[in-house]
Amino acid sequence: MNDLKAIVLETMILLEDPYNMYLKDIRKFTYYKLWYTESKEVYWEQFSIWIKYLDLNSNEDKDFTKRMSVMQSLICFSGHLILNNIFNYFPQQLENILPLYFILLKLLKDDDRIIRDLASEVVSRIISEKTIFSSVYSSELLLNNLSIVYKSSFLFKEKLLNLLIDFENITEFQTKMLSCTQKTNNLFIHEKMNLWKDNTRDNYEMIKILTLLDDDDGYIVNKLTLWANSFSKILLQIIAEKGYDGHLGWTSNEDNRHPIKKISRTQ
pLDDT single digits (tens) 210-220: 888 988 888 88
pLDDT at 73 > cutoff 70: yes
- Work out whether the CA dihedral 124, 192, 57, 99 comes out positive or negative: negative
More confident residue, 61 or 265: 61
pLDDT at 181 > cutoff 60: no
Mean pLDDT lowest among 71-85, 86-100, 127-141, 220-234? 220-234
More confident residue, 239 or 63: 63
240-267 pLDDT tens trace: 766 555 544 444 444 444 444 444 444 4
216: Cα separation from own chain's centroid: 23
Q: Does residue 57 contact residue 70 with C-beta atoms inside 8 Å?
A: yes
Question: pTM for this structure?
Answer: 0.71
Are 208 and 247 contained in the same domain?
yes
Q: What is the pLDDT of residue 143?
A: 95
* Cα distance from N-terminal residue to C-terminal residue, the chain: 52
More confident residue, 244 or 165: 165
Are 87 and 137 contained in the same domain?
yes
Helix axes 64-77, 113-126, angle to 10 degrees: 10
Q: Does residue 137 contact residue 89 with C-beta atoms inside 8 Å?
A: no
**211 is a domain residue:** yes
Mean pLDDT lowest among 71-75, 144-148, 239-243? 239-243
More confident residue, 145 or 245: 145
Q: How many C-beta neighbours within 10 Å does residue 142 have?
A: 23
* Mean pLDDT comparison of 119-123, 224-228, 231-235, 257-261, highest-scoring range: 119-123
Integer-rounded Cα Rg, in Å, for the chain is: 22
Are 7 and 53 contained in the same domain?
yes
More confident residue, 235 or 158: 158
Are 163 and 229 contained in the same domain?
yes
**192 is a domain residue:** no
Q: Mention every residue, 6+ apart, whose C-beta is less than 8 A from residue 67.
A: 57, 58, 59, 60, 107, 110, 112, 115
Percent of the chain with pLDDT over 70: 59
Summarize the confidence of residues 198-227 as an average pLDDT: 83
Neighbour-count burial for 145-165, b at 16+ CB within 10 Å, e otherwise = bbbebbeebeebbebbbeebb
**Number of domains forming the structure of the chain:** 2
More confident residue, 46 or 193: 46
For 167, phi then psi, to 5°, come to: -155, 145
Summarize the confidence of residues 158-171 as an average pLDDT: 74
**16 is a domain residue:** yes
Are 132 and 203 contained in the same domain?
no
Percent of the chain with pLDDT over 90: 30
Q: What is the pLDDT of residue 93?
A: 82
pLDDT at 231 > cutoff 50: yes
Q: Does residue 77 contact residue 104 with C-beta atoms inside 8 Å?
A: no
Q: What is the pLDDT of residue 44?
A: 73
**191 is a domain residue:** no
| Domain ranges, residue 167 | 156-182+197-267
93-136 pLDDT tens trace: 888 899 999 999 999 999 999 999 999 999 999 999 999 999 99
Q: What is the pLDDT of residue 91?
A: 84
Chain-wide mean pLDDT for the chain?
A: 75
Q: What is the pLDDT of residue 155?
A: 92
Are 146 and 160 contained in the same domain?
no
Q: How many helical (H) and strand (E) elements, i.e. helices and strands, does the chain have? A: 12, 0
